[in-house]
Amino acid sequence: MKKEFYDIEWLNTLPVNRKAKEMLIKIGEWANPETMYSVQLAKCAIDRGMVDIEISVIETIEAMTSWRPVRLMNFFMINPDDDYSPTGWDDVHTPDDLARIIIDEIEEKMMLHFPMYGSV
């Protein structure tokens, strides 16, 4: 039977988020079950200075830590019947590499949802 309401717990069971949780634990960070693990990993990489990205991406990732599950699903275009699978996520072995893939995915979705983002 399908779940009618998709919550953060459900989002965090997706394979990419389970891997993000493992990576958070690997670097000694607490994986907060109330936030999407992949977003937490991206934010952690930013906080640790491991990536160099535009301020608008940083602000978006900061905001995403408090988004409702339905908003996250819409932003990432997660279909409840399919796996959410950013390109290359399953081939990486380090927290920073996975964070980079997630950040690239977020930036790509920003370009889609916020067309003016890329034109400066």
Task: Output the pLDDT for position 37.
Answer: 98
Q: Which domain holds residue 58?
A: 8-118
Checking if the pLDDT of 15 tops 70, the result is: yes
Q: Is the pLDDT of residue 75 over 60?
A: yes
What SS3 class is residue 21? helix
H helices of the chain, in order, are 8-11, 15-26, 37-47, 55-64, 69-76, 95-113
Number of structural domains, the chain? 1
**pLDDT for residue 46:** 95
Task: Determine the pLDDT at residue 86.
Answer: 87
2 domain residue, yes or no: no
pLDDT in tens, 90-119: 899 999 999 999 999 999 999 998 877 765
Please tell me the pTM assigned to this model. 0.89
pLDDT in tens, 25-68: 999 999 999 999 999 999 999 999 988 899 999 999 999 999 99
